[in-house]
Amino acid sequence: MKLVFEKGHEGRKMEIIAPLDVSEAGLGESFKRAAKPKLPQMSETEISRHYTELAKRTHGVNDGFYPLGSCTMKYNPKVNEAAAALPGFVKAHPLQPEETCQGSLEVLNLAEKYLCEITGMDAMTFQPAAGAHGEFTGLLLIKAWHVHRGDTKRKKIIVPDSAHGTNPASASMCGYEVVSIPSREDGCVDLEKLKAAVGDDTAGLMLTNPNTVGLFDKNILEITRIVREAGGLCYYDGANLNAVMGIARPGDMGFDVVHLNLHKTFSTPHGGGGPGSGPVGCKAFLAPYLPGARAVKEEREGKTCYRFEKPEESIGDVKMFYGNFLVVVKALAYILTLGREGIPEAAANAVLNANYMKTKLSDVYEMAYPGPCMHEFVMTLEGLKKKAGVTAMDIAKSMLDYGIHPPTMYFPLIVHEALMVEPTETEPRDTLDQAVEALHEIYKKAVEEPESLHGAPYKTPIGRPDEVTAARKPVVRYHWEEHAD
Ligand SMILES: *Cc1c(COP(=O)(O)O)cnc(C)c1O
For residues 450 and 391, is the Cβ–Cβ distance under 8 A? no
**pLDDT value at 38 more than 90:** no
At 47, is the pLDDT very low, low, confident or very high (cuts 50, 70, 90)? very high
**pLDDT value at 37 more than 80:** yes
- Tens digits of per-residue pLDDT, 50-64? 999 999 888 888 889
- Tens digits of per-residue pLDDT, 308-364? 999 999 999 999 999 999 999 999 999 999 999 999 999 999 999 999 999 999 999
Ligand 1 atom index nearest CA of 264? 1
pLDDT for the residue numbered 485: 58
Choice from 137, 139, 164, 257 to test ligand 1 binding pocket (greatest atom count within 8 A of CB): 164
> How confident is the prediction for the chain on average, in pLDDT?
94
**For the residues 7-21, what does the mean pLDDT come to?**
84
pLDDT for the residue numbered 51: 95
Pocket of ligand 1 (CB under 6 A): 70, 130-132, 164, 166, 208, 237, 239-240, 261, 276, 278
pLDDT for the residue numbered 107: 98
**pLDDT value at 158 more than 90:** yes
Q: Whose CA is nearest to atom 2 of ligand 1?
A: 239
Choice from 73, 237, 242, 424 to test ligand 1 binding pocket (greatest atom count within 8 A of CB): 237
When mean pLDDT is compared across 180-189, 245-254, 473-482, the lowest value belongs to 473-482
Choice from 261, 374, 411 to test ligand 1 binding pocket (greatest atom count within 8 A of CB): 261
- Tens digits of per-residue pLDDT, 290-301? 999 999 999 999
- What's the gap in Å between 288 CA and the centre of ligand 1? 25
**Distance from the Cα of residue 104 to its chain's centroid:** 24
Q: Whose CA is nearest to atom 8 of ligand 1?
A: 131
- What's the gap in Å between 55 CA and the centre of ligand 1? 27
Reduce the DSSP state of residue 365 to 3 states and report it: coil
Ligand 1 atom index nearest CA of 70? 15
C-alpha 314/C-alpha 293 separation (Å) is 9
pLDDT for the residue numbered 272: 63
pLDDT for the residue numbered 25: 86
- What's the gap in Å between 208 CA and the centre of ligand 1? 10
**For the residues 8-29, what does the mean pLDDT come to?**
85
pLDDT for the residue numbered 72: 64
pLDDT for the residue numbered 63: 87
pLDDT for the residue numbered 102: 97
pLDDT for the residue numbered 228: 98
Choice from 71, 264, 327 to test ligand 1 binding pocket (greatest atom count within 8 A of CB): 264
- Peptide bond between residue 94 and the one before it cis (omega within 30 degrees of 0): no
DSSP, res 239: T
DSSP calls for 191-232: HHHHHHH-STTEEEEEEESS-TTS---TTHHHHHHHHHHTT-
- Tens digits of per-residue pLDDT, 396-429? 999 999 999 999 999 888 899 999 999 999 999 9
- Tens digits of per-residue pLDDT, 163-204? 999 999 999 999 999 999 999 999 999 999 999 999 999 999
Ligand 1 atom index nearest CA of 261? 7
Burial class for 179, CB neighbours closer than 10 Å (0-12, 13-18, 19+): buried
C-alpha 145/C-alpha 311 separation (Å) is 13
pLDDT for the residue numbered 273: 66
**For the residues 145-166, what does the mean pLDDT come to?**
96
